[in-house]
Each structure stands twice: as structure tokens, then as C-alpha cells.
């Protein structure tokens, strides 16, 4: 029997989700599937490896079951074979996460992104059982280490145990500890994927092979260029580009990352960001001003860079 595989080399974008005002929809905001499909097409047209719908950035926890499934279907249709779709299948329990993984497989996703059990601080045995159960859906799994949101840290030793499950082929590393790439690679053979935009360069230097990204929603072309420079080992040029982006990238690791990235998208003007559903509220005036300043500074630096290259 062939073991599940998934080529994660490249920039896989954890997609935002567009909403439009509708008094009859949850919180007065309906999912705008047309805009979402257009955004996915925009990302793929700018060289991204694929998309990761229904993650935290896609506000999966605020969606109805019908909305959550249709988002995957729209993403698969919009990618249209040009790359991969890694569906977020997070759930409180393994039975829920497995259900979403089975639907993702049925709807054409190439793999799944999976947190440990949400809303419950699972122990090591429960974490392993969670992944083993979802693996029964038959799709490749990218485990997701986000100890800030789940309160469960997928340490390198635990990652090595998860890697014994054939379907677990990668780990999205979001702890911020760049040393973990080496530790994980010393213990097991699993793809380490950079999961936090503001340590992307450091993780790539240390051996990450892919980028599961947030801010490329706003800067896809530059993100692909940055990733390609790292893969080629053009570290000086990569660092110069990274330095122009890292200030705005830091918002990817802050509590208000969804609102910040959507605002940056609107400022960049290439794709629609728009509002967020509860529990996420609007940015404060101070936060909005800082995101705007960081985004505009990045845009100005990128424009100057293009002139210099030309």
C-alpha cells in the first residue's frame, strides 16, 4: 500500500475568507464565495504552491457546517489543478476532525492541516490518538504546532512520535523557536514547514522546506520570490527582501492577526480583505494606524526595490 505524500515545497497560503453584509447571515455577515474564489485564483496566479482554507486565518470556528464545507469546495475549484489544497480540519475531538477530513477528501483536497484537540489541553497519549484517528480518513496530514492557542506544545519528541503515523508527513511549526527545525530533523524524517511569517527567514536557514503562510495573502508575489531566494541559498538577497517585510509580518504572530492581514490586503488593493466575524472585532484606532504604517512602509520599500532592480 502506497503511503500518503504531499509536496509542500513552496508557499501555501492560509487563506483569509471574504464576508459581505447580510442581516440574515450569522453576525450579519455572509461568506462571499465569489470573492473568496477570486482571491484563491489571485494567489495561484502569483506563483503560490497552494492554499490552506479553513484555518484560523480563514475563521473556520465562526462558520456554519455548510459554510465550512463549501469553502473547501470553492478552493478546490479555484485552484483548478494548479497546486494543492490543504484543508483545515481542526476539531474539539478526533471524531469531529476526522469527519472534516473525510469531507475534505471527498471534495478533492490534497491534504489536511490538523491542530491537536482544540478547547482541551490534551495529554501526549490523547494527542497521538487524535492524529491516529484522523489519519483513517486517508489524506496526508500536516500537524500544526500552535501552543499559544491550543495550550498543547508539539515538542520535537512528540513530533517524532506523530511521525510514526504514516499519514503525518509534515509539521507546521509556529512556536517561534527556530531551534526546533534541527531538533525535529535529528529525531525523525518529516517535512518541517515554517508557520510563523516573522521567523520565516530564520526557519528556512535552519532547514524548513516550505512556508504555510499568512501575510502572502497581501504580498503573494514577493513571498514567492522570498521563498525561492531561500531555496536557492541566495541568503543575502533573501535577507534584504525579508527586512523590508518583517515589520508587517510580525502581525501574523499577534492576537489580531486576522484583522491585520485583512486590512493589509485592502491597503495593497489587489484582493479584498474586509470585516471579520465574532469573536474577532475591529482593530483599535492605534492598531489600525500601526498596521497601515507597517503595510505602507513595506509597499514603499518594495516599490523602491523594483526601481533599483530595473
Q: What is the pLDDT of residues 209-224, one digit of tens each?
A: 999 999 999 999 999 9
SS3 167: coil
| Helix (H), strand (E) at residue 158 | helix 156-162
In whole angstroms, give the CA distance from residue 285 to residue 281: 12
Confidence of residue 233 (pLDDT cuts 50, 70, 90): very high
CA atoms within 13 Å, Cβ hemisphere of 306: 9
Does 5 have pLDDT greater than 90? no
> Which of 228, 221, 288 lies closest to 261 in space, CA to CA?
288
Q: Which residues contact 196 (CB under 8 A, 6 or more apart)?
A: 173, 174, 176, 203, 252, 253
**Average pLDDT score over the chain:** 97
172 annotated active-site: yes
In whole angstroms, give the CA distance from residue 155 to residue 177: 11
Q: What is the CATH number of the domain that holds 209?
A: 3.20.20.70
Does 176 have pLDDT greater than 70? yes
Provide the pLDDT for residue 2: 67
Residue 5 lies in a domain: no
Provide the pLDDT for residue 271: 96
> Which of 38, 129, 123, 130 lies closest to 89 in space, CA to CA?
130
Residue 288 lies in a domain: no
Domain assignment of residue 203, given as a range = 10-232
Residue 282 lies in a domain: no
Residue 203 lies in a domain: yes
Catalytic residue among 131, 144, 215, 242: 144
Residue 300 lies in a domain: no
Residue 279 lies in a domain: no
Catalytic residue among 33, 60, 161, 172: 172
Q: Do 195 and 144 touch, CB atoms closer than 8 A?
A: yes
In whole angstroms, give the CA distance from residue 190 to residue 71: 28
Provide the pLDDT for residue 1: 55
pLDDT in tens, 259-304: 999 999 999 999 999 999 999 999 999 999 999 999 999 999 999 9
Does 42 have pLDDT greater than 70? yes
pTM value is 0.97
Residue 259 lies in a domain: no
Share of the chain above pLDDT 70, in %: 99
Amino acid at each position: 500500500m502506497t503511503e500518503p505524500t504531499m509536496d509542500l515545497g513552496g508557499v501555501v497560503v492560509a487563506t483569509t475568507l471574504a464576508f459581505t453584509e447580510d442581516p440574515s447571515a450569522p453576525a450579519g455577515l455572509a461568506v462571499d464565495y465569489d470573492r473568496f474564489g477570486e482571491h484563491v485564483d489571485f494567489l495561484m496566479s502569483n506563483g503560490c504552491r497552494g492554499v490552506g482554507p479553513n484555518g484560523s486565518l480563514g475563521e473556520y470556528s465562526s462558520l456554519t457546517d455548510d459554510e465550512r464545507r463549501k469553502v473547501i469546495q470553492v478552493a478546490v475549484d479555484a485552484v483548478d489543478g494548479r497546486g494543492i489544497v490543504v484543508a483545515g480540519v481542526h476539531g474539539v475531538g478526533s471524531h469531529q476532525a476526522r469527519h472534516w477530513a473525510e469531507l475534505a477528501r471527498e471534495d478533492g483536497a490534497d491534504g489536511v492541516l490538523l491542530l491537536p484537540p482544540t478547547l482541551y489541553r490534551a495529554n501526549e497519549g490523547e494527542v497521538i490518538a487524535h492524529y491516529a484517528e484522523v489519519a483513517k480518513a486517508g489524506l496526508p496530514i500536516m500537524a500544526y504546532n500552535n501552543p499559544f492557542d491550543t495550550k498543547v506544545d508539539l515538542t520535537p519528541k512528540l513530533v517524532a512520535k506523530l511521525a510514526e503515523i504514516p499519514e503525518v508527513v509534515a509539521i507546521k511549526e509556529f512556536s517561534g523557536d527556530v531551534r526546533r527545525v534541527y531538533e525535529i530533523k535529528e529525531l525523525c524524517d518529516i517535512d518541517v514547514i515554517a508557520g510563523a511569517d516573522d521567523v520565516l527567514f530564520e526557519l528556512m536557514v535552519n532547514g524548513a522546506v516550505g512556508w504555510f503562510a499568512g501575510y502572502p495573502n497581501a504580498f503573494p508575489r514577493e513571498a514567492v520570490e522570498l521563498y525561492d531566494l531561500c531555496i536557492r541559498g541566495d541568503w543575502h538577497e533573501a535577507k534584504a527582501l525579508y527586512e523590508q517585510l518583517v515589520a508587517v509580518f510580525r502581525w501574523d504572530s499577534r492576537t489580531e492577526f486576522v484583522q491585520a492581514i485583512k486590512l493589509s490586503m485592502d491597503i495593497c488593493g489587489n484582493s479584498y480583505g474586509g470585516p471579520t466575524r465574532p469573536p474577532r472585532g475591529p482593530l483599535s484606532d492605534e492598531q489600525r494606524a500601526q498596521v497601515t504604517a507597517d503595510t505602507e512602509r513595506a509597499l514603499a520599500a518594495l516599490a523602491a526595490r523594483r526601481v533599483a532592480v530595473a
